[in-house]
Amino acid sequence: MNQTSSTDASPLKVSAVVSALRFWSAILTAVFAAAFILAGILTPPRSGPFAPVANIIPYPYTDVAAFIPNDYLWLYPGILLALIFIVLVVCIHSYASSDRKIFSHIALSFAVIYATIILIDYFIQFTIVIPSILTGETAGLSLFTQYNPHGFFIALETLGYSMMSGAFLFIAAVFAGGKLERALRWILIAGFVVAVLFFTALSLLNYDLIAFEVTILTINSIVLIVSGVLLSIVFRRAARGGSVSARAV
């Protein structure tokens, strides 16, 4: 009797699943990045150099109960973005050729640092800051609120997205194929370089950290939208062209 074992069929199934995971992680990264930047744009700035004078919340930045939950909705796509970015970088690592996996591994390390910082930062807002504001327990809360331009929230968020920029640089080193991969590579490198240039310029001009926070969030979101779309095409072509086995670990 001719028996077809599950072991014989499993490589094709695994390849199909991996290909789908790669494709959808790239698409969802672009979608969550777009939702993140759109939600950020729709949330009125209430502190820092970009806030209209009429909107600025004075120290101690805790008289904000009227802005809950609307001013915190943008954090939800930010949380989803942190999670899917880890999945995306793992997929890039699986796609990378053996001689370039060192770069994707370093990128994954940066991505894990970014996601850890951002998830902690945003989780604190939902579990500590918002409940404390709504119950009037605001003593000592000033350093943790997202409206404080010199607080923990802005500092951690800036650090987190700086780590994402570092991941961009090493992800770029993975891609050295045709025109599409080269375009993807230069977009990622440009995202890193522009972030460094803005940080340098804003520091020299003595802007508050919040100015760079807004800038790097915008830069990274644009890079993720464009690169997410390009990566989905790269992964789809790899699946159709049988490149999964060629780039296997």
CA dist., res. 222 & res. 214, Å (int) = 13
Residue 82 has pLDDT above 60, yes or no: yes
Indicate if the pLDDT at residue 234 is higher than 70: yes
Amino acid type, 25: S
Which CA distances in Å does 12 have to 9, 23, 92?
6, 16, 19
Q: What is the model's pLDDT at position 155?
A: 96
* pLDDT over 70 (residue 200): yes
2's CB contacts (< 8 A; 6+ apart) are none
Nearest residue to 62 (alpha-carbon basis) of 155, 156, 140? 140
pLDDT digit string, tens, across residues 18-71:
999 999 999 999 999 999 999 999 999 998 888 898 889 999 999 999 999 999
When pLDDT is averaged across residues 102-112 and rounded to a whole number, the result is 98
State the pLDDT at residue 31: 98
| Bond prior to 45 in cis (omega within 30° of 0) | no
DSSP letters for 132-200: HHHTT--TT-GGGSTT-TTSHHHHHHHHHHHHHHHHHHHHHTT--SSHHHHHHHHHHHHHHHHHHHHHH
What's the confidence (pLDDT) of residue 245?
37
pLDDT category at 198 given cuts 50, 70, 90 is very high
Q: Is the pLDDT of residue 148 over 70?
A: yes
Neighbours of 228 (CB within 10 A): 22
pLDDT (0 to 100) of residue 7: 39
Instruction: In whole angstroms, give the CA distance from residue 67 to residue 43.
Output: 10
Provide φ and ψ at 207, rounded to 5°: -75, 150
> What is the average pLDDT score of the chain?
90
Looking at residues 72-99, what average pLDDT do you find?
Answer: 96
Note the pLDDT of residue 104.
97
